[in-house]
Structure 1
Amino acid sequence: MIHTTVGQLGHFFVILSFVTALVATVAYFISSLGRRTAKQAIPVEEPQLAYAGESSFGGKTAKRKAPVQAASPSAPEKDDWKKLARWAFYIHGAAVVGVAASLFYIIYNHYFEYHYAWSHSSRALPVHYMISCFWEGQEGSFLLWLFWNATLGVILTRTSGSQWEAPMMTVFALVQAFLASMILGVVFGGTFKLGSSPFLLLSEAMPDAPIFTADPTFVPKDGNGLNPLLQNYWMVIHPPTTFLGYALTLVPFSYCIAGLWRNEPFAWIRPALPWTLIGGLVLGTAIMMGGYWAYETLNFGGYWNWDPVENSVYVPWLVLVGSLHAMLIAKRSSTGLKTTIILSISTFLLILYSTFLTRSGILGNASVHSFTDLGLSGQLLVYLLVFVGLAVVLAVSKWKYIPTDEQEASVYTKEFWLFIGATVLCLAAFQVIATTSIPVYNKILESFGKVSNLALPADQISHYNKFQVWFFVVIALLTGVGQFMWWRKLENKKWDALITPGIITLLISAGLIAFGSIKNPVYMALLVASVFALVTNGTILLGIVRGNYRLSGGAIAHMGMALMLIGILYSAGYSKVISINTSGLLISKQDEFTKNDNKENKENTLLWLNQPERMGTYQLTYRGQRIEARDVPGYIPRKDVMVIEGDFHGIAQRDIEQNGKVYHKKGDTLALYPENTYYEVEYREPSGKVFSLYPRAQVNERMGLLASPDTRHKVDRDIYTYVNSVPDPTAENKWEKTETYSVAIKDTFYLNDYVAILDDVVRTNEVEGMEIGPTDAAVRARVRVLSKTGEQTLSPAFVIKNRMVAHPAEMSDELGVRIQLNEIDPRTGKFTFAVNRTQRDYIVMKAFEKPLINVLWVGTLIVILGFLISAVRRYREFSKMRDKMI
């Protein structure tokens, strides 16, 4: 049965959200016109009108023009339009919730007749991964963005104050109309398509598929499932956090546009400042969540790969942090005010540009995880250009209301250092976005009939690093000097206060460089700058907490940033491969034709099942394949379960026991997690301590081998392990042609290149899977196999039961052997064995040591704390001011 009702309801909610967003935009716009601002303004001193008065940048005073508000000519009419706008926006928010609920209902109930559910989900996925399915596709991610914008919009209608609500929410509602159009899925004239609907039926999405010609009501039994790389708990929380960060950049943008619109280029900063701080906190947290997801899930050996999609979030965040610092000096500097306006507008526009980059398909193969084009590239471009045009035209037309300083900044003012810091952040952002946009340059030139030979850097990590390292050396130094300036520790043009922190910095840095054997001058510079930032901000923090801890947010955030830089320096700059291949075996044939000095052969270790190998100070042993059962903690041996392919269930081949508790008896059916196979690698430390890591891999028909690492976290370092090559875990063993051996007791023969000795043949009453009665007979051979790691005994049986002969085989994955006792000749005393050989179980793995990586994660948490303290403080200031005005 086709469940069309829920899809129709969802599509209705999409249309309703689009229409109500347009209604809210028009109504808020008309309400804003009712609150006209006089075009002529008179100078007013700051004590008379907060944040509209004098500027003391560089010791001189520059009067600002503060507009005088004119009374509204028709207050009742204005209130009616605002009331209509509010209700329209509330209905819009409810409609967005309705769309989200409808789509999740379809995914959760496995309505695979819908293209979105079929493309992104499957019956095997647990509930938390079904949530990830919701935003794996473009339509779902746009819907998530819509939801956060609607949520913030509702909050702002209640908290922004009457003077800001109408102009600011006009911008908000217009953005929502554009976003809602992205999932509208309406076709005009049979050719023009507006948006891509998440409620499209499979038969509508693929009308030419032969299956629908034969059976128009066909519904797949299962879906394609979630991308294996996204089957990670960080993917449940990382995308919502990212899109909340996207949504938060709209708040300062809307306040800024509203301030320019009302000819009040300064007053908007105070209400926008706490939102900017929250936006910096959330977007920065999302970036690090993505980095941690990459570290846990991808196998490039790190947490940041300078992928274009990573860059497209990193750049707006840098500009957002730059705008935050510009806001802090806007009160006293017209340069800071102009910079604040430009950067607040640029942050949101860069979010739109990033969306265009990652969702238009323009990046092509330049990114490993950008979206493909759904035919929305033109619509995305219009979305971007509309807001670029509106923002630029408005800013240019209102520039005359921004005052000008009479004297340039002095290097002995805090405003100067904050401005320089914001500038360096923006330069760092520009360097990244300029390179990331190379595919855009090529496309523009191609549209004019030109052929472009521009290409992204072959080694993008080294390309970006060689610039970004120096930018952050400067930023780290500026945080120290800037904080001393901010708290007036450097007065009367004297720098004496920096002498003691400077000496401490040099002593600590010299010790770290000497004991850490740091020889790279670039790394030395970054280390010294980071330690300087840590020491200077720590000094400031000690002074602040004695007074008012609420003022400590900036110092704490800067200290966290310094720790992050130190963590990045050591974990990335001094990451060491410990899986050095000393066997002499050629692991990768590709290196024969490359110039990387057999890097892959040198840095990968081949491990045979249960055969220990030395790796640095560790002894490694591969212990076999493991799988996950839904109701059993940890991992269970794959051979203990007969997996039913395509059913996500298995049958226990023996009792499933963990930690002394039996979860399933032999023969029970148990539910399994899909697709992934884990490979237990046992590490034995020199002290004798043993621990195991479980890197996972999936042999995917569409994507090849998908490997994810496992990590052992220590205080001073991580041991990071992943597999590079494995036998196909879904393939059955391919046994070679049967070989026979007739041997007497104590004779020697060969099994798969191993020496084997028949030690004895003895009577037995126990044969697995058989009941031996009093009239039956059974014997078991004891075949001792010698290998370089020791001995192993194989015990094939020979059974006579009810006058029938059985030859139960004995198999060894470790030896790659299956052996049967086929004949017993009492006349000659010879025993005949049938032997088959197969590929032994193995893995090729790579392992790193990443020193001090926990310093990076700790620094991230400290940065978040600093942002949070600052945001709470600034919001309290704004609330007090708003309450006074009321």
Structure 2
Amino acid sequence: MIHTTVGQLGHFLVILSFVTALVATVAYFLSAIGRRSAVNSVSVEEPQLAYAGESGKASFGGKTAKRKAPAAQAEPEPKDDWRTLARWAFYLHGAAVAGVVATLFYIVYNHYFEYHYAWSHSSRALPVQYMISCFWEGQEGSFLLWLFWNASLGAVLIRTSGKQWEAPLMTVFALVQAFLASMILGVVFGETFKLGSSPFLLLKEAMPDAPIFTADPTFVPKDGNGLNPLLQNYWMVIHPPTLFLGFALTLVPFAYCIAGLWRNQPLEWIRPALPWTLFGAMILGIGIMMGGYWAYETLNFGGYWNWDPVENAVYVPWLVMVGALHTMLIAKRSSTGLKTAVILTIATFLLILYSTFLTRSGILGNASVHSFTDLGLSGQLLVYLLAFVVLAVALAARKWKTIPSDEQEASVYTKEFWLFIGATVLCLAAFQVIATTSIPVYNKILEAFGKVSNLALPADQIAHYNKFQIWFFVAIALLTGVGQYMWWRKVEYKKWDALVTPGILTLLVSAGLIAFGSIKNPIYMALLVASVFALITNGSILLGIIRGNYRLSGGAIAHIGVALMLIGILYSAGFSKVISLNNSGLLISKQEEFTKNDNKENKENTLLWLNQPERMGPYQLTYRGQRIEVRDVPGYVPRKDITVIEGDFHGIAQRDIEQNGKVYHKKGDTLALYPENVYYEVEYREPNGKIFTLYPRAQANERMGLLASPDIRHKADRDMYTFVSSVPDPNAEDQWEKTETYSVAIKDTFFLNDYVAILDDVVRTTEVAGMEIGPNDAAVRARVRVLDKNGEHVLSPAFIIKNRLVAHPAEVSDELGVRIQLNEIDPRTGKFTFAVNRTQRDYIVMKAYEKPLINVLWIGTLIVMLGFLIATFRRYREFVRMREKSVA
């Protein structure tokens, strides 16, 4: 059955959201024009004043003047029908967007695979949390998520922004929503022009030339392609919505800024925009670090940041947003800060649009592992970007003269100067990253003009970016300390005595860390000294603040977090140590990824055979076998205990499934399994005898090959990071070699798969797994002892006569790669004939790192976000108080 009604409803709601966004844009625009013409022209004079504090006074040209209240404020508020229409249109738009979200998730959740989006991104095997991830895996779903957050923020701003800001602010908001809604319209004009890509496209509409639809137009696939295996992670349930909320929050200060310029109030927008900027920087930062932690837990490059172009495209707007935040803080006293705040606030949002173009237009090609393929929307994305570039730049240029200018430059002894320098360094760091990341864009531009470009991204991107970024953050760390001392007037005019004590403490602490930590790289020394200086100076500032009003501590706390993050990055990246060294002299693999760079990977990976202990640094390692996940059983279950039903995500229990003394399933039960993942149990024995176990996983995926993900043991001072580099194909059938036969007597020696084997004895038995031995049956069991370098293994194949039929069940040893059967017994000669097959022994090739002090990075991240949160509440309370005063 094809469920077309729900898709038609969804498509109607998409169109409704687009139309209502346009209506809201026009109505708010007309409301803004009408309100502006009704307001006394005194508002035009006000931009010439730079806010000097909360005293109700303002300064211009270094002089002080009292601010006159606009005469229009005393008049009763006129009825505004356009604003009423705009509000209802935007609320209806938000309801339509929510309806689209609900409709698309309904399709995914109910496995309506006749829809291309559901078939492409989901499958019946996925648990509910990963169905949520399916929702935003595709481009259409991620645009819809962005739409949803913008609509939610718009509804909040309608209620909180105030009547003077609502119309111009929401004009910008509604216009952005119209552009975003157009991305999922999926309307085709003629044969060539397409506006958006609909998530409600039927499979037969997306693939009209597929032969199956010619034969059966009503064909519906039984299952979908499923979610990208790397996205089957709990962080992918919460990371994308957090990141897109951060994207949406960059629109708020941008809209306030545009509204302020439009209203000839280039200063007044700062106060209402400031708490939103703080909150947006916090959320976007959390989203970025969530992505870093996802990469650390899921990918196997051994870190949390790879300077991938898509990572860079999000990192750059965040840096600029933090720079904008600092210039907004000094805009009250310096026109230089005000002008820079306008530029950086606009640039933050435009960089978000640019990053969207980079990641979704297909322009990055193979330069990024994260980028989407082009859905034919690259032209539409470019129009989206250019429209707001032109709008914002043209408005800023036109209103530039209304922004006040200082008569003299800020002195080096003022806090405004140091905040401005800090913002400048942040922007320079951002420029270095985006300039390199945009190389594919430069090439495309040159190609459009018929030129051939030889520009290419750096071969070693990590080394390239680190070479520059480390010095930027040395400067930033130093500036956070000096800037905070300036901000809190610890440094008096031309007297720097207050910095002597923290400077001496910094040198003493850093010298100790360098000496005991064996830091020899001068660049690492510089970063460590700067980070310790930032920690000590901001720590001393914080101690002074919390004795007074803790609400003022946001900046100091955030800067302490930054210092801790830098220390964590320095040690976890600069002193990460591979401990899985191959000291056997064996060449583990001849594959290119193992042999390049002077056999680096062969030297840094260790080979583990099943149940055979190997020494790795201070640890003794033992690979204990393959494990899988059963949906209703905690932990992992031995793979050999379950026969997997291929393509069904179910299995049959071959024995009772028991965990922690509780039997969850009986032998023969059908079990629901999680898809694709196979875990490899690796037992670590520490020098003190303690044992811990890690379960790195590998996913055999038809589309992407073998995907390995690490398992991590977290300790207070370091992480043990383990992943498998190579494994036998977990989905391949055992390839048994040609049968060999051995006829031996008791105590004879023979060879099994290059091992020495001894037939110790053959004895009667009454117990054979899977078979009942009656009083009239006969059964014997051989005891074959196999010797290897680590000890011995005992194999016990049986020979059974039951109901005059002969059975000889095989015994399989994964450790030895042997299958042995007792086929014949000759009582005349006393010889026993064994049939033996050999196969590849079970093994893994494993790599392991120790990452010192990585927890300092994660702790520092949380502290930064706490500082942002405290500052957000403070600035919001300040805005509310000022709004209440103006109303009174």
TM-score, scaled to structure 1: 0.98
- How far apart are residue 69 of structure 1 and its match? 7.0
Could you say if the C-alpha distance between residues 592 and 316 of structure 1 is closer, same or farther in structure 2, counting changes exceeding 3 Å? closer
Give ranges in structure 2 of 5+ residues lacking alignment.
none
Does 294-303 or 46-55 show the bigger shift?
A: 46-55
Aligned twin of 1:631: 632
Aligned twin of 2:731: 730
Is residue 406 from structure 1 mapped to residue 411 from structure 2 by the alignment? no
RMSD of aligned alpha carbons:
1.7
Map of 1:2-13 to 2, 5 A cutoff? 2-13=2-13
Q: Report the Cα distance in structure 2 between the residues aligned to 1:261 and 1:309, rounded to whole angstroms.
A: 33
Could you say if the C-alpha distance between residues 769 and 592 of structure 1 is closer, same or farther in structure 2, counting changes exceeding 3 Å? closer
Q: Report the Cα distance in structure 2 between the residues aligned to 1:518 and 1:568, rounded to whole angstroms.
A: 14
Is residue 271 from structure 1 mapped to residue 276 from structure 2 by the alignment? no
- How far apart are residue 491 of structure 1 and its match? 0.5
Map of 1:815-834 to 2, 5 A cutoff? 815-834=816-835
Cα shift readout 1:435-467 (whole Å, capped 9, x = no counterpart): 000000000000000000000000000000000
Q: How many residues align?
A: 882
Q: Report the Cα distance in structure 2 between the residues aligned to 1:593 and 1:619, rounded to whole angstroms.
A: 24
* Mapped contact 1:361–1:370 kept (Cα < 8 A): yes
* Mapped contact 2:51–2:333 kept (Cα < 8 A): no
Map of 1:364-403 to 2, 5 A cutoff? 364-403=365-404
- How far apart are residue 75 of structure 1 and its match? 6.4
Aligned twin of 2:31: 31
Counterpart amino acid of residue 478 in structure 1: L
Counterpart amino acid of residue 353 in structure 1: Y
Cα shift readout 1:542-563 (whole Å, capped 9, x = no counterpart): 0000000000000000000000
Map of 1:730-879 to 2, 5 A cutoff? 730-879=731-880
Map of 1:160-199 to 2, 5 A cutoff? 160-199=161-200
Map of 1:533-682 to 2, 5 A cutoff? 533-590=534-591, 596-682=597-683
Q: Report the Cα distance in structure 1 between the residues aligned to 2:400 and 2:736, rounded to whole angstroms.
A: 80
Cα shift readout 1:606-656 (whole Å, capped 9, x = no counterpart): 100000000000000000000000000000000000111111111111111
* Mapped contact 1:45–1:52 kept (Cα < 8 A): no
Aligned twin of 1:689: 690
* Mapped contact 1:249–1:347 kept (Cα < 8 A): yes
Q: Report the Cα distance in structure 2 between the residues aligned to 1:236 and 1:833, rounded to whole angstroms.
A: 54
Cα shift readout 1:80-136 (whole Å, capped 9, x = no counterpart): 100000000000000000000000000000000000000000000000000000000
Cα shift readout 1:580-618 (whole Å, capped 9, x = no counterpart): 001111113146996512101100111000000000000
* Mapped contact 1:41–1:65 kept (Cα < 8 A): no
Map of 1:423-572 to 2, 5 A cutoff? 423-572=424-573
Aligned twin of 2:18: 18
Q: Report the Cα distance in structure 2 between the residues aligned to 1:357 and 1:787, rounded to whole angstroms.
A: 57
Could you say if the C-alpha distance between residues 83 and 657 of structure 1 is closer, same or farther in structure 2, counting changes exceeding 3 Å? same
Q: Report the Cα distance in structure 2 between the residues aligned to 1:698 and 1:252, rounded to whole angstroms.
A: 43
Q: Report the Cα distance in structure 2 between the residues aligned to 1:677 and 1:234, rounded to whole angstroms.
A: 20
Aligned twin of 1:136: 137
Counterpart amino acid of residue 59 in structure 2: E
Aligned twin of 1:122: 123
* Mapped contact 2:554–2:868 kept (Cα < 8 A): yes
Q: Report the Cα distance in structure 2 between the residues aligned to 1:623 and 1:120, rounded to whole angstroms.
A: 34
Cα shift readout 1:233-259 (whole Å, capped 9, x = no counterpart): 000000000000000000000000000
Cα shift readout 1:252-285 (whole Å, capped 9, x = no counterpart): 0000000000000000000000000000000000
Is residue 41 from structure 1 mapped to residue 42 from structure 2 by the alignment? no
Is residue 223 from structure 1 mapped to residue 224 from structure 2 by the alignment? yes
Could you say if the C-alpha distance between residues 648 and 461 of structure 1 is closer, same or farther in structure 2, counting changes exceeding 3 Å? same
Q: Report the Cα distance in structure 1 between the residues aligned to 2:529 and 2:661, rounded to whole angstroms.
A: 53
Counterpart amino acid of residue 26 in structure 1: V
Q: Report the Cα distance in structure 1 between the residues aligned to 2:65 and 2:736, rounded to whole angstroms.
A: 90
Q: Report the Cα distance in structure 2 between the residues aligned to 1:69 and 1:113, rounded to whole angstroms.
A: 63
Is residue 54 from structure 1 mapped to residue 55 from structure 2 by the alignment? no
Could you say if the C-alpha distance between residues 270 and 123 of structure 1 is closer, same or farther in structure 2, counting changes exceeding 3 Å? same
Q: Report the Cα distance in structure 2 between the residues aligned to 1:477 and 1:51, rounded to whole angstroms.
A: 35
Q: Report the Cα distance in structure 2 between the residues aligned to 1:564 and 1:817, rounded to whole angstroms.
A: 52
Counterpart amino acid of residue 166 in structure 1: A
Could you say if the C-alpha distance between residues 677 and 594 of structure 1 is closer, same or farther in structure 2, counting changes exceeding 3 Å? closer
- How far apart are residue 866 of structure 1 and its match? 0.3
* Mapped contact 2:107–2:118 kept (Cα < 8 A): yes
Q: Report the Cα distance in structure 2 between the residues aligned to 1:66 and 1:337, rounded to whole angstroms.
A: 21
Give ranges in structure 1 of 5+ residues lacking alignment.
none
Q: Report the Cα distance in structure 2 between the residues aligned to 1:882 and 1:68, rounded to whole angstroms.
A: 15
Does 849-858 or 694-703 show the bigger shift?
A: 694-703
Could you say if the C-alpha distance between residues 493 and 64 of structure 1 is closer, same or farther in structure 2, counting changes exceeding 3 Å? farther
Q: Report the Cα distance in structure 2 between the residues aligned to 1:51 and 1:521, rounded to whole angstroms.
A: 51
Q: Report the Cα distance in structure 2 between the residues aligned to 1:756 and 1:584, rounded to whole angstroms.
A: 27
Q: Report the Cα distance in structure 2 between the residues aligned to 1:126 and 1:45, rounded to whole angstroms.
A: 56
Q: Report the Cα distance in structure 2 between the residues aligned to 1:66 and 1:481, rounded to whole angstroms.
A: 38
- How far apart are residue 28 of structure 1 and its match? 0.2
Counterpart amino acid of residue 291 in structure 2: G
Q: Report the Cα distance in structure 1 between the residues aligned to 2:372 and 2:49, rounded to whole angstroms.
A: 52
Query: Helix, strand or coil: the match of 1:699?
Result: strand
* Mapped contact 1:65–1:403 kept (Cα < 8 A): no
Is residue 211 from structure 1 mapped to residue 212 from structure 2 by the alignment? yes
Could you say if the C-alpha distance between residues 5 and 50 of structure 1 is closer, same or farther in structure 2, counting changes exceeding 3 Å? farther
Aligned twin of 1:90: 91
Counterpart amino acid of residue 53 in structure 1: A
- How far apart are residue 881 of structure 1 and its match? 1.1
- The alignment-based identity, stated in percent, is 84
Query: Helix, strand or coil: the match of 2:598?
Result: coil
Cα shift readout 1:652-682 (whole Å, capped 9, x = no counterpart): 1111110111111111111111111000010
- How far apart are residue 53 of structure 1 and its match? 2.3
Could you say if the C-alpha distance between residues 714 and 313 of structure 1 is closer, same or farther in structure 2, counting changes exceeding 3 Å? same
Counterpart amino acid of residue 30 in structure 1: L
Could you say if the C-alpha distance between residues 543 and 444 of structure 1 is closer, same or farther in structure 2, counting changes exceeding 3 Å? same
Q: Report the Cα distance in structure 2 between the residues aligned to 1:161 and 1:52, rounded to whole angstroms.
A: 22
Q: Report the Cα distance in structure 2 between the residues aligned to 1:593 and 1:826, rounded to whole angstroms.
A: 54
Counterpart amino acid of residue 45 in structure 2: A
* Mapped contact 1:326–1:340 kept (Cα < 8 A): yes
Q: Report the Cα distance in structure 1 between the residues aligned to 2:26 and 2:704, rounded to whole angstroms.
A: 48
Counterpart amino acid of residue 524 in structure 2: Y
Q: Report the Cα distance in structure 2 between the residues aligned to 1:692 and 1:654, rounded to whole angstroms.
A: 23
- How far apart are residue 63 of structure 1 and its match? 7.8
Aligned twin of 2:261: 260
Q: Report the Cα distance in structure 1 between the residues aligned to 2:761 and 2:54, rounded to whole angstroms.
A: 103
- How far apart are residue 46 of structure 1 and its match? 5.3
Query: Helix, strand or coil: the match of 1:735?
Result: coil
Query: Helix, strand or coil: the match of 1:54?
Result: strand
Query: Helix, strand or coil: the match of 1:681?
Result: strand
* Mapped contact 1:620–1:681 kept (Cα < 8 A): yes
Counterpart amino acid of residue 714 in structure 2: H
